[in-house]
């Protein structure tokens, strides 16, 4: 089980993680939460139903990683499509941010609930719902890191340039995290497939 998810009875999944892996995953999830930003919780005394109908931003984020997490719905090739994308964003981005935030919080909370067993780390066991949240967060983390690294289809493709970075390259730790998260994501998907 070390390094990859395995199916558990009831539709969940489990993975053995050492203390360093737990710390890295938790740190990345917290950084993702910081990137996504705080939620639009109603202020004290504010009508909670009003918050449900609050409009989101109409402009795409300027941060490339956020723009990757919250992409344009219809592209930006012409004025009509830009207007449709802005309208779509106004009514969907807040909910999408909330879901991404909730998924990352599940990652943090499940990791915080682990009780390491000595130097071996711990076994993280997820329910089916937690698996879905983990999948969402693993995907968001990979999109964010990939954007920061300016990963293209060619980088991890046939030429494998991501795999051949010299150890002296300052991107190497993030590339290793990117590839590791991809392996976790792939094995989690495999455990959930019928």
Close Cβ partners of 29 (under 8 Å, ≥ 6 residues apart): 104, 107, 108, 111, 137, 141
- Give dist(CA 133, CA 40) in Å, integer: 20
pLDDT at 155 over 60: no
Q: Which pLDDT tens digit goes with each residue over 116-153?
A: 776 678 999 999 999 999 999 999 999 999 999 988 76
- Give dist(CA 169, CA 166) in Å, integer: 6
Average pLDDT, integer, range 101-117: 93
- 81: helix, strand or coil: helix
Average pLDDT, integer, range 186-194: 92
Q: Which pLDDT tens digit goes with each residue over 41-59?
A: 655 666 666 655 667 777 8
The whole-chain average pLDDT of the chain stands at: 86
Whole-prediction pTM = 0.85
Token code pair at residue 154: 């060619």
CB 119 within 8 A of CB 20: no
- Give dist(CA 55, CA 87) in Å, integer: 10
CB 156 within 8 A of CB 102: no
- Give dist(CA 45, CA 126) in Å, integer: 36
The better pLDDT of the pair 122, 157 is held by 122
pLDDT at 95 over 80: yes
């Amino acid at each position: 089980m070390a390094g990859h998810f395995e199916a558990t009875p009831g539709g969940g999944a489990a993975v053995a993680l050492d203390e360093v892996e737990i710390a890295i995953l938790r740190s990345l999830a917290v950084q993702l939460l910081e990137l996504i930003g705080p939620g639009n919780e109603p202020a004290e005394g504010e009508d909670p139903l009003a918050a449900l109908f609050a409009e989101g931003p109409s402009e795409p984020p300027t941060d490339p990683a956020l723009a990757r997490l919250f992409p344009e719905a219809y592209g930006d090739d012409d004025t009509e499509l830009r207007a449709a994308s802005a309208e779509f964003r106004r009514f969907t981005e807040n909910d999408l941010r909330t879901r991404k935030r909730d998924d990352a919080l599940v990652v943090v909370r499940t990791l915080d609930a682990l009780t390491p067993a000595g130097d071996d780390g711990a076994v993280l066991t997820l329910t089916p719902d937690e698996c879905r949240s983990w999948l969402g967060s693993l995907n968001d983390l990979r999109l964010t890191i990939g954007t920061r690294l300016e990963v293209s289809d060619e980088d991890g493709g046939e030429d494998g340039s991501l795999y051949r970075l010299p150890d002296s390259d300052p991107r190497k730790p993030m590339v290793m995290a990117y590839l590791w998260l991809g392996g976790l994501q792939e094995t989690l998907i495999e455990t959930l497939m019928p």
